[in-house]
Amino acid sequence: MTPNVKGALLMMGSMAAFTVNDTMIKAAGADLPLFQMVAMRGVLATVLVFLLARHLGALHMNFPRHDKWLVAARCLAELSATFFFLTALLHMPLANVTAVLQALPLTVTLGAVLFFGEHIGWRRILAIGMGFVGMLLIVRPGPDGFSIYAVYALIAVASVTVRDLITRRMSIHVPSLAVTLATSLSITVAAGIATAVTGWEPVPTGAGVLVACAAVFVLTGYLCSVMVMRVGDVGFVAPFRYSSLIWALALGWLVFGDWPDTITMLGAVLVVAAGLFTLFRERRSHAVE
């Protein structure tokens, strides 16, 4: 098995794990409040990440103060993304929310241009524009298809974009697992505090099992995403990120009986096509350099 094939399999595994996590949280959301689910999942995920980080010797925080501020800012962005994404997920079809998130390569590229002064050509600018048209087709602002939860999905995309841009500014001295642990802990604490206001409901056995399994799948997705960066060519592996949409379509139909309409599917195709073209042009630009 070549490194590129291993990388592709790990990327698809990561996307599958994250999408299964989303499916389980959406299913458990029928019986449990949002913040309670996040707190429950967060406790288990934080413990698992802590044990893994300790085993790998990645618990130290001996990095520059500048990076510590970036880690704190990243935690805030992740907290915002978690709230808005999960709220949208509980009220929208799984495939629709996942399709909106496929615009992330486009928004991160645009953010790098606006905030970091990175240069992109006119072809990628057109691709970004096409991707945003696709996003509008998915969320459909208008009296027939618009909802506040579509706005929540867009805010989640913006929050994840900020998170990824912040991550780009971190130095190589910051262990990935330390960042993950800080993020997981901050979200768990915030959700725990929120439950003091929203209340704590009795946990049915089925919902409890779903949340526990979701925590395991989140960790699995993260581990695969870390491993994928260590094998294969990034330019070859990155497009397999879009396999999450296939998983979302299949699980949304099998578990919830949802299937996107034609306009939503057209929007998803535009977003994915624009993202793939952007990745292709970025790969070519690096090859030229």
Rounded to an integer, the average pLDDT of 45-61 is 83
| Confidence band, pLDDT 50/70/90 cuts, at residue 141 | low
Write out the DSSP string of 142-193: STTT--HHHHHHHHHHHHHHHHHHHHHHS-TTS-HHHHHHHHHHHHHHHHHH
pLDDT number for residue 121 = 81
| Confidence band, pLDDT 50/70/90 cuts, at residue 213 | very high
Does residue 97 carry a pLDDT above 80? yes
Q: Is 207 exposed, middle or buried (0-12, 13-18, 19+ CB in 10 A)?
A: buried
Does residue 289 carry a pLDDT above 60? no
pLDDT number for residue 98 = 93
Percent of the chain with pLDDT over 90: 47
Does residue 136 carry a pLDDT above 80? yes
Rounded to an integer, the average pLDDT of 176-194 is 90
Q: How far apart are CA 289 and CA 284, in angstroms?
A: 9
167 or 288: whose pLDDT is higher? 167
Rounded to an integer, the average pLDDT of 38-49 is 91
> Lowest mean pLDDT: which of 47-61, 75-89, 229-243, 249-263?
229-243
**Residue 124 near residue 282, CB atoms below 8 Å:** yes
Region of 93 on the Ramachandran plot (φ > 0 left; ψ -120 to 50 alpha; else beta): beta
| Confidence band, pLDDT 50/70/90 cuts, at residue 286 | low
Residue 284 token pair: 């070519």
Does residue 235 carry a pLDDT above 80? no
> Lowest mean pLDDT: which of 40-49, 54-63, 174-183, 251-260?
54-63
The pTM (predicted TM-score) of the whole model is 0.88
pLDDT number for residue 108 = 85
Assign 9 to helix, strand or coil: helix
Does residue 18 carry a pLDDT above 60? yes
Does residue 233 carry a pLDDT above 80? no
Does residue 54 carry a pLDDT above 90? no
> Lowest mean pLDDT: which of 45-54, 141-150, 244-253?
141-150
pLDDT number for residue 229 = 61
**Residue 107 near residue 161, CB atoms below 8 Å:** yes
Can you say how many angstroms the Cα of residue 135 is from the centroid of all Cα atoms in its chain? 16
